[in-house]
């Protein structure tokens, strides 16, 4: 039971870390706040967000393999497959803002030019969409933990 508690703890810490840095990106990615320092910070935040997302996957896999319910139970659940599918979709969507932030940093270092407002708004829209889709994963997680819609 102690192992299960630690696995759940590490999974939750990774999720909260990911959410904090995702929300930080959404907060900073605004046309009215854009500056060279903000662009550098966005790249750093995005890196930490990516590391946290990988930690979520690692902790989740650890829970399925070493957790109380076991690998057979978890991997037979459609809700787990739904969570993974949405997580992968969010990961793929996050590539657009990531590449934008990196391109903006290269440009601001080379020329000092800030990104156009429409690009900043587009990147923020992607980050906000990711953030909202994360809510579906959390709902599925609650259902899965309580045995709702499980086999």
28 near 42, Cβ under 8 Å? Answer: yes
Query: Are 49 and 94 a contacting pair, CB within 8 Å?
Result: yes
pTM of the model: 0.93
- How confident is the model at residue 39, as a pLDDT? 98
Residue whose token pair is 């499980």: 150
DSSP tag of 12? H
**Residue 140: its pLDDT value, please?**
97
Q: Encoding tokens for residue 145?
A: 């933990």
- Residue 151 pLDDT: 86
Q: What is the mean pLDDT of the chain?
A: 97
Domain boundaries, the chain: 2-145
* pLDDT given at position 35: 98
Average pLDDT score over residue span 6-25: 97
In this structure, the dihedral spanned by the alpha carbons of residues 79, 81, 83 and 87, taken in order and rounded to 10 degrees, is: -170
Q: Residue written as tokens 């990988």?
A: 54
**Residue 44 has what pLDDT?**
98
């Amino acid at each position: 039971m102690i192992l299960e508690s630690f696995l759940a703890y590490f999974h939750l810490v990774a999720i909260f870390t990911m959410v904090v840095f995702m929300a930080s990106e959404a907060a900073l990615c605004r046309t009215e706040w854009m500056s060279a320092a903000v662009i550098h910070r966005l790249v750093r935040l995005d890196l930490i967000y990516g590391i946290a997302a990988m930690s979520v996957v690692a902790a989740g896999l650890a829970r399925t393999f070493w957790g109380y319910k076991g690998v057979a139970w978890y991997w037979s659940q459609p809700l787990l497959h739904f969570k993974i599918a949405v997580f992968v979709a969010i990961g793929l969507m996050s590539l657009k803002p990531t590449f934008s932030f990196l391109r903006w940093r290269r440009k601001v270092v080379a020329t000092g030019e800030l990104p156009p407002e429409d690009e900043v708004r587009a990147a923020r829209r992607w980050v906000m969409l990711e953030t909202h889709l994360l809510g579906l994963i959390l709902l599925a997680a609650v259902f899965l933990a309580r045995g709702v819609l499980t086999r």
